[in-house]
Amino acid sequence: MVAPAVLPPAAVRQESGPVPTKAPPALMKPEPAVSEQAVVKEIPKLKKTEPEAEEPALEAAPPPRPTIPSMFVVMIASELTPVAKVGGLADVVYGLARELEARGNAVEIILPKYDCMRYDHIYGLTKAYENLWVPWYGGGINTTVYFGFVHGRKCYFIEPHSNDNFFNRKCFYGQNDDVLRFAFFCRAAMEFMLKTNKHPEIIHCHDWQTALVPVLLYEMYQHLGMRHSRVCFTVHNFKHQGVTGDHVLRATGLNRPEYFLHYDRLRDNHNPHAINLMKGGMVYSNFVNTVSPRHAWEAKDGGQAHGLEPTLHAHHCKFGGILNGLDCEQFNPQTDPHIPVKYGADTIEKKYENKQALRRRFMLADNQKPIFSFVGRLDPQKGLEMVRHAIFYALGHGAQFVLLGSSPDASINEHFLGLKRHFNDNPDCHLEIAYNEEAAHLIYAGADMMVVPSRYEPCGLTQIIAMAFGTVPVVRAVGGLADTVFDKDFSNRPLHERNGYVFESADNPGLESALQRAIACYYQFPEHFRQLMLNGMRGDHSWNQPAQHYLNIYDHIRDK
Ligand code: ADP
């Protein structure tokens, strides 16, 4: 144990609302109210999750370099905040593009024109290119490209006209032909750049959906004139790789299965008859990164690359980890339009009014308990059994709980809907099984703590957003969570950098070890808890440093 943080004179909740200064009865003697086992028996089961990888170590990101000439960067991505958002990828594409532009670079973003986009956030949508003939299976698909601004970002949207209706599916992912949908997107993006004489110095691709871009560039389009572009490929999640048959080669005109189904190119590392798009992206790109230094290590040496470890080793010289930043305009409690009362580190006592608003919104009891929260995709990656256990533990130990999340997997939604029904009459718990941007912001602002017990987490944004809102994260020491959250009691960081609670083992005792310390601190040492909130808020979560790292990489790989 280390000495507690230096304390400010007043604790936030003492200034602004009723907070006990000593432990409530619940802390001394846990509330016996609900048995997790009894409840779980009665609701649909969660699937078993995969085993853990080994303990990782840190891998350093490249140091910043000051003067880099401005560049023309084209981002090709399947998501963009706020028009097409499923998870953190959307936030990263928007935030990084904005920061690069703020530093004088020209940035354009190419996206599919999904029917389910938030068109109310696209300004001045106009046709930019008609009758773009995109080669497809020996024929072609007539395609229109639109241009529009998304909160200042210059975006092109690809709209194919064919019976496939690739992007008119009322959803972003989860279709049987996802591989073909996004393979078409890659080919169309390349064709559009060629026909419009765009010669970006850097093409920045994200995840398997855009992994064919570097393959097409080096095997086809550089011979057609795109000789100077270089590719940075960012892997946001190694789990989804786009493993498919060789029909994708015929569809995109790459053909030559005997050539591409080679171990050194696109052949899947486990199935010799399958094409692995993400592997192709890694092999053909000039630089590959994942989204935290710790996860770069976990992927290459900790067995978390889902079969792509040998590929990372073969290409280790061009592989690294860069932590995601946070777009400080989008996630800023001083300006957030979604929260009723704005606040900053200097006015942190106003956070309490958002806590009250959160309680009103979800009909929680107005009492002295802290509110734990979880916001995220309900994916096994997020440690769903531990999320569930956190709910039971919090309710049994003098805390409230709010969950916001959903899953494309109906059985997972059913499980959490079962829990929701169980807690229907509990005044200390609300589960919202939905995707709701505005509710997410209210939770970040109103909750006291954010639980992130992920099994693996390449970077994780929810803990970073929580900190920006003065909400104390309780996280598992994995991936980007370990790179951003430093334990109040056990970290070797200076006191002012400690910003949350961290546990190691992916099981209930591990989780409880952190929850119990967090609850005790909230009740017994409110000044210490307030200091944790402030430490989180005062940390630099911006794109400032990460954008510099990306610029260093762009500069390193560009054709000089
Ligand atoms: P991942 O990329 O694995 O989904 P991250 O933590 O990197 O996880 O990013 C999640 C992003 O998506 C955050 O901005 C979070 O607020 C948002 N988000 C996730 N689930 C929901 C939801 N149900 N409603 C609103 N926002 C959500």
Beta carbon of 179 within 6 Å of any ligand 1 atom? no
What's the gap in Å between 462 CA and the centre of ligand 1? 7
Model confidence pLDDT, tens digit, residues 443-486: 999 999 999 999 999 999 999 999 999 999 999 999 999 999 99
CA angle 246, 250, 252 (to 5 degrees): 110
Q: Does the beta carbon of 376 sit less than 6 angstroms from any atom of ligand 1?
A: yes
Distance between terminal CA atoms of the chain?
Answer: 53
Q: How far is the CA of 10 from the centre of ligand 1 (A)?
A: 33
The residue among 533 and 61 whose pLDDT is bigger is 533
- The pLDDT > 70 percentage for the chain reads 91
Atom of ligand 1 nearest to the CA of 457: 3
Query: Does the Cβ of 437 fall within 6 Å of ligand 1?
Result: yes
Choosing from 207, 339, 375 the residue with most ligand 1 atoms within 8 A of its CB, the one to mutate for a pocket test is 375
Q: How many CB atoms lie within 10 A of CB 69?
A: 11
Q: Is the distance from the beta carbon of residue 277 to the nearest atom of ligand 1 less than 6 Å?
A: no
pLDDT of residue 514: 98
- Identify the residue with better confidence: 49 or 371: 371
Cα-to-centroid distance, 360 and ligand 1 (Å): 23
- In ligand 1, the atom with minimum distance to the C-alpha of 324 is 7
With a 6 Å cutoff on the Cβ, whether 430 touches ligand 1 is no
pLDDT at 11 over 50: no
Give the mean pLDDT of 537-543.
97
The predicted structure's pLDDT at residue 103: 97
% of the chain exceeding 90 in pLDDT: 87
Q: Relative to the CA of 81, which ligand 1 atom is closest?
A: 14
* Span from the CA of 87 to the centroid of ligand 1 (angstroms): 4
**How many Å apart are CA 215 and CA 219, to the nearest integer?**
6
Query: How large is the average pLDDT for residues 28-56?
Result: 66
381 near 15, Cβ under 8 Å?
no
- Residue 154 predicted with pLDDT over 80: yes
**458 within ligand 1 shell (Cβ under 6 A):** no
Measured by CA distance, the residue closest to atom 2 of ligand 1 is 88
Instruction: Give distance in angstroms: CA of 405 to centre of ligand 1.
Output: 8
438 pocket-lining for ligand 1 (C-beta < 6 Å): no
Given this model, what pLDDT does residue 61 score?
59
Q: Is 88 in the pocket of ligand 1 (CB under 6 A)?
A: yes
The whole-angstrom separation of Cα 159 and Cα 145 is 6
How far does the centroid of ligand 1 lie from the alpha carbon of residue 353, in Å?
Answer: 24
**DSSP string computed for 420-484:** HHHTTT-TTEEEEES--HHHHHHHHHH-SEEEE--S--SS-SHHHHHHHTTPEEEEESSHHHHHH
Does ligand 1 come within 6 angstroms of the Cβ of 292?
A: no
Ligand 1 contacts CB of residue 443 (under 6 A): no
Q: Is 147 in the pocket of ligand 1 (CB under 6 A)?
A: no
The radius of gyration computed from the CA coordinates of the chain, to the nearest angstrom, equals 24
Q: Count the residues in the chain.
A: 560
Coil, strand or helix at 157: strand
- 3-state secondary structure labels for all residues of 112-147: ECCCCCCHHHEEEEEEEEEEEEEEECCEEEEEEEEE
The tens digit of pLDDT for each residue in 240-285 reads: 999 999 999 999 999 999 999 999 999 999 999 999 999 999 999 9
What atom in ligand 1 is closest to the CA of residue 379?
3
Q: Is 296 helix (H, G, I), strand (E, B) or coil?
A: helix
**Confidence band, pLDDT 50/70/90 cuts, at residue 35:** confident
* pLDDT for residue 120 is more than 90: yes
The pTM is what? 0.89
pLDDT digits (tens, 9 = 90+) for 37-50: 888 788 878 876 65
- At 51, the pLDDT band (50, 70, 90 cuts) reads low
Does residue 55 line the site of ligand 1, with CB under 6 A? no
479-506: pLDDT as tens digits: 999 999 999 999 999 999 999 999 999 9
Ligand 1 centroid, distance to 387 Cα (angstroms): 15
Q: How far is the CA of 104 from the centre of ligand 1 (A)?
A: 29
